[in-house]
């Protein structure tokens, strides 16, 4: 037992032991009532790591006394899904919800893998319980999602985390024998990030590192131990945010070597490759933009490729894209433009659309001057007609300023030719 991680030893086994998620498990809550009635539909638990998704699935199976099968979307395929379904059917476990199939990280299942569940869920051969940290609207196909009830779990609050600490030190046999007291808990709570598993992992690491005879945990002691043992951070820990920040800044700073290194750190730590691919898409638009419009096409293609082929081959695609983006010229001009325009919109409110730009679908609107004097650009020489497009109150207000790169310098020349210096490009 002592070799079993504290977080596993402290995993709640009954609804009464469960801490947090009162909107689901509190007295009178919808999910709690469903659990007590035994009428459980197929469910998707959506929430951050370490908030009880797997634990709730196990409590359900235990309290309902049903066969419980577990698959991980990281290591399982269609063959594994079919084997579980055949096993359930072969044991004669027919009828709605007789067996529970829990799939952790279901967002990592491909469309074909998710489709392999449909018939069994629809017929009631299995009750599906999926756990995901990603928005199921995007990651679970519509057919499967329509057959499931989605429950959203929240990060644990300080009151829940404090209760977990007290319980671990008093109810866990190994911890109780050590007689540890927590004098300061701020550092522990901060490092947990609302994640019960991480909190208990940090606690166990700190307790194991305390000098012989020391029985108190302080914020300073926690900081010292964590600094010496960075490996206790998992992909969802504080280090996750530091590394993704380093990755983003390396691409923005045009250093392909650093970009690939930090990306490799994320991959080695088990980061979801789609998370990395999404960051590349944002980088392509926010930091490269019009200096190299192909960057956004490349990033979108990389995301699609990673979805199709998965890992480990997906690392090659991510590397190709990261290097390409890091080596691309940089411009945040379009990013700055939309921010400036949003600020102007908030400041000036709902300025009226100039009459010549308004749509005139009816005779009355035409008579009122809607669309009058509008000049159709394609009918003008060079497909450009000089007219006012901004509201009268902010005429000549400039939001977009071309960046200093080859593509946008050409755009600057073109804009100056068209607008004859109106915007001061």
**pLDDT one-digit tens code per residue, 220-271:** 888 888 765 444 444 444 456 778 888 999 999 998 898 999 999 888 877 8
Please, where in the chain does CATH 3.40.50.300 lie?
21-152
Contact criterion met (CB below 8 Å) for 45 and 130: yes
> Which among 230, 159, 243 is positioned nearest to 201, based on CA atoms?
230
pLDDT number for residue 322: 95
CATH number attached to the domain at 21-152: 3.40.50.300
Please, where in the chain does CATH 1.20.272.10 lie?
238-327
* Cβ count within 10 A of residue 79: 9
The structure's pTM equals 0.54
Which strand ranges, in their side-by-side order, compose the sheet holding 68-72?
Answer: 68-72, 99-104, 126-132, 43-46, 149-152
Topology adopted by domain 158-232: Helicase, Ruva Protein; domain 3 (1.10.8)
Q: In angstroms, rounded to a whole number, what is the distance separating the alpha carbons of residues 14 and 351? A: 59
CATH number attached to the domain at 350-419: 1.10.3710
pLDDT number for residue 79: 83
Distances (CA, A) of 33 to 36, 91, 154: 5, 29, 19
Q: What is the mean pLDDT of residues 72-97?
A: 72
Please, where in the chain does CATH 1.10.8.60 lie?
158-232
Please, where in the chain does CATH 1.10.3710 lie?
350-419
The pLDDT > 90 percentage for the chain reads 19
Q: By three-state DSSP, how is residue 102 classified? A: strand
Angle, alpha carbons 295-298-301 (nearest 5°): 150
Q: Write out the H or E segment, with its range, that includes residue 100.
A: strand 99-104
pLDDT number for residue 321: 95
Helices (H), 269-369: 273-283, 294-309, 314-327, 333-348, 363-367
Q: Write out the H or E segment, with its range, that includes residue 419.
A: helix 406-419
Convert the pLDDT of each residue in 26-42 to its tens digit. 888 888 888 888 788 88
Burial class of 241 by CB neighbour count within 10 A (0 to 12, 13 to 18, 19+): exposed
Structure-block tokens of residue 308: 């199709």
Backbone angles phi, psi at 376, to 5 degrees: -75, 115
Question: Side-chain half-sphere of 279: how many Cα atoms within 13 Å?
Answer: 24
DSSP string, 220-244: HHHHHHHHH-GGG--TTSHHHHHHH
Q: By three-state DSSP, how is residue 143 classified? A: helix
The pLDDT > 70 percentage for the chain reads 94
Q: Write out the H or E segment, with its range, that includes residue 149.
A: strand 149-152
CATH number attached to the domain at 238-327: 1.20.272.10
Q: Which of 32-46, 70-84, 229-243, 386-400 has the lowest mean pLDDT?
A: 229-243
Angle, alpha carbons 400-380-396 (nearest 5°): 30
Convert the pLDDT of each residue in 192-221 to its tens digit. 878 888 899 889 888 888 887 778 888 888
Mean pLDDT over the full length of the chain: 85
Residue with tokens 């947990």: 192
Convert the pLDDT of each residue in 282-335 to its tens digit. 999 999 999 999 999 999 999 999 988 888 888 999 999 999 999 999 999 999
Residue with tokens 């004097």: 373
Structure-block tokens of residue 421: 């210096």
User: Quick one: CA dihedral 245, 248, 252, 253, positive or negative?
Assistant: positive
DSSP string, 198-216: HHHHHHHHHHHHSPTT--E
Q: In angstroms, rounded to a whole number, what is the distance separating the alpha carbons of residues 8 and 6? A: 5
For residue 64, is pLDDT > 90?
no
271: left (phi over 0), alpha (psi -120 to 50) or beta: beta
């Amino acid at each position: 037992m002592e070799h079993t991680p504290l977080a596993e030893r402290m995993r709640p086994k009954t609804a009464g032991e469960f801490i947090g998620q009162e909107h689901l498990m509190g007295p009178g809550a919808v999910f709690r009532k469903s659990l007590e009635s035994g009428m459980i539909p197929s469910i998707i638990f959506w929430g951050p790591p370490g908030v009880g998704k797997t634990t709730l699935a196990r409590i359900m199976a235990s309290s309902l006394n049903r066969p419980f099968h577990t698959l991980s979307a990281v290591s399982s395929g269609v063959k594994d899904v079919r084997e579980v379904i055949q096993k359930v059917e072969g044991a004669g476990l027919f009828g709605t919800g007789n067996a529970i199939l829990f799939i952790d990280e279901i967002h990592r299942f491909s469309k074909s893998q998710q489709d392999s569940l449909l018939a069994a869920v629809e017929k009631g051969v299995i009750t599906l319980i999926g756990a995901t940290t990603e928005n199921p609207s995007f990651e679970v196909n519509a057919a499967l999602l329509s057959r499931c009830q989605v429950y959203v779990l929240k990060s644990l609050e300080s009151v829940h985390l404090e209760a977990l600490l007290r319980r671990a030190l008093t109810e866990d046999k190994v911890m109780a024998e050590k007689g540890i007291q927590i004098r300061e808990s701020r550092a522990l709570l901060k490092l947990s990030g609302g994640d019960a598993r991480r909190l208990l992992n940090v606690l166990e690491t700190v307790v194991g590192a305390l000098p012989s005879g020391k029985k108190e945990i302080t914020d300073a002691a926690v900081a010292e131990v964590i600094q010496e043992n960075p490996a206790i951070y998992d992909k969802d820990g504080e280090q996750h945010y530091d590394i993704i920040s380093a990755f983003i800044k390396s691409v923005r700073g045009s250093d392909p070597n650093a970009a690939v290194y930090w990306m490799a750190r994320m991959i080695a730590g088990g980061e979801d490759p789609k998370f990395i691919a999404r960051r590349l898409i944002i980088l392509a638009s926010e930091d490269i933009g019009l200096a190299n419009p192909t960057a956004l096409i490349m990033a979108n293609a990389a995301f699609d490729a990673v979805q199709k082929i998965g890992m480990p081959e997906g690392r090659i695609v991510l590397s190709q894209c990261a290097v390409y983006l890091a080596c691309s010229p940089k411009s945040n001009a379009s990013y700055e433009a939309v921010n400036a325009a949003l600020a102007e919109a908030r400041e000036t409110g709902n300025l009226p659309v100039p009459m010549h730009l308004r749509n005139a679908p009816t005779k009355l609107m035409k008579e009122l001057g809607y669309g009058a004097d509008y000049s159709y650009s394609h009918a003008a020489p060079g497909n450009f007609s000089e007219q006012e497009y901004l509201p009268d109150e902010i005429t000549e207000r400039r939001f977009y300023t071309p960046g200093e790169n080859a593509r946008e310098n050409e755009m600057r020349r073109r804009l100056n030719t068209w607008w004859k210096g109106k915007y001061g490009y």
